Amino acid sequence: MSKRFVILGAGESGIGAALLAQQQGYDTFVSDGSSLKDDYRNKLQNAGIEFEEGKHSENKILTADEVMKSPGIPESNEIVKKIRAKGIGIISEVELAYQFKGNSKIIAITGSNGKSTTTALTYHICKSGGLDCAMVGNIGYSFARQVAEEPKPLYVAEISSFQLDDIRTFRPDIAILTNITEDHLDRYDYQFEKYIQSKFRIAMNQQPDDHFIYCADDEVTIKYINLPKVIGINIQSNQLPISMKREVPNGAFIKDGDLYIRTGLEYTLMSVYDFALKGKHNQYNTMAACVAGTTMDISKEKIRDAVQNFQSLEHRMEYVATIRGVEFINDSKATNVNSTWYALESMTKPTILILGGVDKGNDYSLIAGLIKEKVKAIICLGTDNRKIHEVFGSMISPIANTGSAAEAVHAAFHFAEKGDVVLLSPACASFDMFKNYEDRGNQFKHAVKEL
């Protein structure tokens, strides 16, 4: 009898898992508590996969041999609690994909900030180095869908803590942990250590011939990396730290404007002034991607070329336009305070900051210093802005409330003078007024172009 495999959630990861599970001969059923996007519904219908939307039928779900839970569904969800109570195993979509990837290699990237940029740059380096690879996970196709529809010898995967929570055997050949800062604490009972444990799971199954790249300047990472009892993991892989503060024997470091990379016997050297990505945080992202490329035996010339001609991601410090001397930047992907800290840190002109959305328990004091130093006005874009007013009201005037992206852009333009920057870097999730951060960024860009 074939394995009964139930998938909760029919977004990109759920659809990918369904296609792969059915391809592997599983008796597959997809259940989504809300309504499906048309193209996803069509995909399931065309593949002849049974599904339901707008409900979770217990009689169909609780008969599963195994369940794949989409990363967006929390443990507190009622049906998840019932699945757990019955002792049915739950895995994530990346675990399913891993089980059927064959001999392909995986470079997996996680971290609180910088993971999308690091993933995209690592993929760009691998592609430029002539490797046949795909970028999967939180960017582009889900990992499972790629394995099902167009398998590759190498996958460069961006992986969230939610996906790592439900892995069992998932083992990347190269794991990158960019940094760990407080984020998504609402999903981890507001316990920072639970979130930290989740991030370190990326190295959980690694063996001595695998590589683990991490930031030696990140206080949280360094505090916990040598506490196996706390993180529940004894890291066995080859550690390749990156640093701007000290020289490391293996990994990478920056000294006097030069990047030194070493994964074997010899150093590779390049100038940081050649990096296409600007800002200190992007130097860390670039270092991590270069070390990954070096461990894949890509030549230093190809790595250097790739780093020089890389185009940054949409919605991540994306230049939109300059209107009457005022520059507009879309950093809608900044969904936590640390991301906004990085954005403000790289600002060199007086800034009008568009801030706000769904607050995930944000500690705004982290950016208070930068706001005092660089920001001349705050435009709130969210349904509940009380906290922003409470924290910054005494240090910044004006703080204006707006009800749409267009309104926010007009208000910002009103307060801006020639030589200023209007920065959308909300530090919050977007789903109070927008579908997602992409929708928020696109509405912002549209409003700028309408000015």
Whether the pLDDT of residue 160 is over 80: the answer is yes
User: Is the per-residue pLDDT at 362 higher than 90?
Assistant: no
Q: Where does the pLDDT of residue 321 fall: very low under 50, low under 70, confident under 90, or very high at 90 and above? A: very high
Q: How far is CA 336 from CA 64, 110, 359, in A?
A: 36, 15, 8
Quick: pLDDT tens for 233-288: 999 999 999 999 999 999 999 999 999 999 987 888 999 988 888 778 889 999 99
For tokens 């597959």, the residue is 28
pLDDT surpasses 90 at 179? yes
| Pairwise CA distance, residues 439 & 451, whole Å | 19
- Terminal Cα-to-Cα distance of the chain (whole angstroms): 62
Span 114-119, average pLDDT: 91
- At 146, phi and psi to the nearest 5? -65, -45
Residues 14-32: what's their mean pLDDT? 96
The residue with greater pLDDT, 1 or 250, is 250
3-state secondary structure of 379: strand
Kindly tell me if the per-residue pLDDT of 173 is higher than 80: yes
Mean pLDDT of all residues in the chain?
93
Ranges assigned E (strand) in 138-210: 154-158, 174-177
Domains and CATH numbers, the chain: 4-91 (3.40.50.720), 95-308 (3.40.1190.10), 318-450 (3.90.190.20)
pLDDT recorded at residue 379: 97
Decide if pLDDT at 311 tops 80. Answer: no
pLDDT confidence bin for 366, thresholds 50/70/90 = confident
Which of 316, 75, 115, 93 is closest to 199 using CA atoms? 115
The pLDDT of residue 116 is above 80: yes
Residue 97 has pLDDT above 90, yes or no: yes
* pLDDT tens for each residue of 383-412: 889 999 999 999 998 999 999 999 999 999
> Distance between CA 417 and CA 424 in Å, rounded?
17
pLDDT bucket at 82, cuts 50 / 70 / 90: very high
For residues 4-12, average pLDDT: 95
pLDDT of res. 189:
79
Once rounded to an integer, what is the mean pLDDT over residues 298-326?
88
25 dihedral zone (left: phi>0; alpha: psi -120 to 50; beta): left
* pTM (2 d.p.): 0.78
| Of residues 62, 68, 107, 101, the one with CA closest to residue 85 | 62
- Total H helices, total E strands in the chain: 18, 20
Please tell me the least confidently modeled range out of 46-50, 79-83, 112-116.
112-116
Comparing 61-65, 129-133, 311-315, the range with the smallest average pLDDT is 311-315
pLDDT at position 207 is: 98
The burial of 191, by beta-carbon neighbours within 10 Å (0-12 exposed, 13-18 middle, 19 or more buried), is given as: exposed
Nearest residue to 295 via CA among 237, 255, 240: 240
- Residue 125: pLDDT band with limits 50, 70, 90: very high
Characterize the bridge pairing of strands 351-355 and 238-243: unpaired
Cis amide linkage into residue 398, ω under 30° from 0: yes
35 secondary structure, DSSP code: P
Q: What is the pLDDT of residues 322-353, one digit of tens each?
A: 999 999 999 998 988 888 988 898 888 999 99
Helix (H) or strand (E) holding 365: helix 365-374
